[in-house]
Structure 1
Amino acid sequence: MPDTAATPLADSNDTLDPLGDADKGLVKNRAKVGSARPSSLLYTYGPGAIMDLPSFSVMPAGLDDWEPIWRRREVVPTILEPRLLNVVRMHLGPQVDALRPFPWQPKRGSLSTEGSDLGLPARVFPQWFRCTGCDYLGPLPRFTYSNTHPFRPDLAQFTHKPCPGRGGRGRREGAPAVPAPHLLTCTNGHLDEFPYALWVHRGRKCPNAENPDLKMRDANVGKSVGATIICQSCNATRGMAEAQGAQGRLKLPQTCRGRHPHLGAFFPDCPAQPALIMVGASNLWFPSTQSIIVMPRSDAEQKEALADHLRVELGIEQIRQFADQIPVIRALAGARSIDITGVTDEDISAAVADVLAPPESEEAREERRANWDPIELLIPEWRYLQKPALFPGQQNDMGLMVTEMSRGTELHPRIKRVVGVNRMKRVNAVLGFTRLDEMDRVNDVASRLVELTCNGKPSWVPATEDRGEGIFLQLDLDAVAQWERRVEASAIWNGHREAHRRNFARRFSETAAAINPDTRLPGPRYWLVHTLSHILIREMAMYSGYGAASLTERIYAWREAPGREAAAGLLLCTTASDSEGTLGGLVALSEPEKLQSIVLSAVRRASRCSSDPVCAQRTPSDPEDFLHGAACHTCCFASETSCEKANRFLDRRFLLDLPTANGPAVPGFFGSYGR
Structure 2
Amino acid sequence: MTDDDATQMIFESAQPLDPLADSEQSNVKNRAKVGSARPSSLLYTYGVGSIMDLPQFSIMPAGLDDWEPIWRRRPTVPTIEEPRLLKVVQLHLGSRVQQLRPFPWQPKARAMSQEGSDLGIPARVFPQWLRCTGCDYLGPLSRFSYTNTHPFRPDLATFEHASCPGRTFAGAAKGKAKDPAKGQARRSPAVPARYLLACANGHLDEFPYALWVHRGRTCPAAPHPDLKLRDSNIGQGAGAVITCERCQQRRGMGEAQGEAGKRKLPTCRGRHPHLNAFDPKCGLDTSLMMMGASNLWFASTQSIIVMPRSEEQKQTALATNLRTYLTPEELADYAALPKMLRSLLAAHKCDIAGVTDEQLTAAVAEALAPPPSEEERRERLRDWDPVELLVPEWNYLQNPSLFAQQQDASGLMVTEMPTAAELPKQVHRVIAVNRMKKVNAVIGFTRIDEMDRVNDLASRLVKLTRDGRPTWVPATEDRGEGVFLQLDENAVSAWEAQILPTALWRAHRGAHRHNFSRRFSATAAQINPDTRFPAPRYWLIHTLAHILIRQMAMSCGYGAASLSERLYAWPATPDRPAAAGLLICTTASDSEGTLGGLVALSQPERLHGLLLDALRRAGRCSSDPVCGQRTPRHGEDFLHGAACHCCCFASETSCERANRFLDRRFLLTLPSIDDERVPGFFGTIDVY
Question: In structure 2, which of residues 323, 330, 334 is the aligned counterpart of residue 322 of structure 1?
Answer: 334
The structural deviation recorded for 1:314 is: 2.7
Does 2:388 correspond to 1:387? Answer: no
The structural deviation recorded for 1:263 is: 0.5
C-alpha distance in 2 between matches for 1:122 and 1:86 = 29
Does 2:435 correspond to 1:423? Answer: yes
Does 2:129 correspond to 1:128? Answer: yes
Question: In structure 2, which of residues 356, 360, 379 is the aligned counterpart of residue 348 of structure 1?
Answer: 360
Does 2:46 correspond to 1:45? Answer: yes
Provide the residue aligned with 1:174 in structure 2: 187
Q: Deviations 1:605-656 (Å, cap 9, x if unpaired)? A: 1111111111111111123211111111111111111000111111111011
In structure 1, the residue corresponding to 2:324 is in which secondary structure? helix
Question: In structure 1, which of residues 442, 467, 480 is the aligned counterpart of residue 479 of structure 2?
Answer: 467
The structural deviation recorded for 1:507 is: 3.7
Q: Any residues of structure 2 matched to 1:127-146 within 5 Å, and which?
A: 127-146=128-147
C-alpha distance in 2 between matches for 1:382 and 1:3 = 38
- 8 Å Cα contact 2:165-2:186 kept in structure 1: no
Provide the residue aligned with 1:149 in structure 2: 150
Provide the residue aligned with 2:344 in structure 1: 332
Q: Deviations 1:201-248 (Å, cap 9, x if unpaired)? A: 000000010101000001258999321000011000000000001110
Q: Any residues of structure 2 matched to 1:304-319 within 5 Å, and which?
A: 304-319=316-331
Q: Any residues of structure 2 matched to 1:415-564 within 5 Å, and which?
A: 415-440=427-452, 443-564=455-576
Deviates more, 1:550-559 or 1:347-356: 347-356
Provide the residue aligned with 1:286 in structure 2: 298
C-alpha distance in 2 between matches for 1:561 and 1:598 = 34
C-alpha distance in 1 between matches for 2:146 and 2:465 = 28
The structural deviation recorded for 1:13 is: 9.7
Q: CA RMSD in A?
A: 1.9
Provide the residue aligned with 2:210 in structure 1: 197
C-alpha distance in 2 between matches for 1:443 and 1:354 = 31
In structure 2, the residue corresponding to 1:423 is in which secondary structure? strand
C-alpha distance in 2 between matches for 1:431 and 1:562 = 29
* Cα 1:256/1:224, change in 2 over 3 Å: closer
- 8 Å Cα contact 2:17-2:69 kept in structure 1: no
Provide the residue aligned with 1:112 in structure 2: 113
C-alpha distance in 2 between matches for 1:658 and 1:245 = 40
Does 2:88 correspond to 1:87? Answer: yes
Question: In structure 1, which of residues 209, 217, 220 is the aligned counterpart of residue 222 of structure 2?
Answer: 209
Does 2:377 correspond to 1:376? Answer: no
Deviates more, 1:436-445 or 1:234-243: 436-445
In structure 1, the residue corresponding to 2:106 is in which secondary structure? coil
Provide the residue aligned with 2:583 in structure 1: 571
Provide the residue aligned with 2:415 in structure 1: 403
**Which 4+ stretches in 1 moved above 6 angstroms?**
26-29, 221-224
In structure 1, the residue corresponding to 2:77 is in which secondary structure? coil
Question: What amino acid is the match of 2:4?
Answer: T
C-alpha distance in 2 between matches for 1:221 and 1:105 = 42
Provide the residue aligned with 1:23 in structure 2: none
Q: Which consecutive residues of structure 2, in runs of 5 or more, have no partner in the other structure? A: 20-25, 169-178
Question: What amino acid is the match of 1:67?
Answer: E
Does 2:659 correspond to 1:647? Answer: yes
Aligned length: 668
The structural deviation recorded for 1:376 is: 0.4
The structural deviation recorded for 1:501 is: 1.2
Provide the residue aligned with 1:161 in structure 2: 162
Question: What amino acid is the match of 1:540?
Answer: M
The structural deviation recorded for 1:30 is: 4.5
Identity %: 67
Q: Deviations 1:253-285 (Å, cap 9, x if unpaired)? A: 1x2111101001111201311111111111111
Question: What amino acid is the match of 1:575?
Answer: T
- 8 Å Cα contact 2:160-2:188 kept in structure 1: yes
Provide the residue aligned with 1:60 in structure 2: 61
Provide the residue aligned with 1:22 in structure 2: none
C-alpha distance in 2 between matches for 1:97 and 1:386 = 32
TM-score, normalised with respect to structure 1: 0.96
Deviates more, 1:351-360 or 1:511-520: 511-520
The structural deviation recorded for 1:333 is: 1.3
Q: Deviations 1:275-296 (Å, cap 9, x if unpaired)? A: 1111111111111100000000
C-alpha distance in 1 between matches for 2:537 and 2:237 = 49
Q: Deviations 1:434-489 (Å, cap 9, x if unpaired)? A: 11111126852111111000011000000000000000000000110111111010
- 8 Å Cα contact 2:15-2:276 kept in structure 1: no
In structure 2, the residue corresponding to 1:535 is in which secondary structure? helix
The structural deviation recorded for 1:315 is: 3.9
C-alpha distance in 2 between matches for 1:607 and 1:32 = 51
TM-score, normalised with respect to structure 2: 0.95
* Cα 1:408/1:336, change in 2 over 3 Å: same
* Cα 1:612/1:14, change in 2 over 3 Å: closer
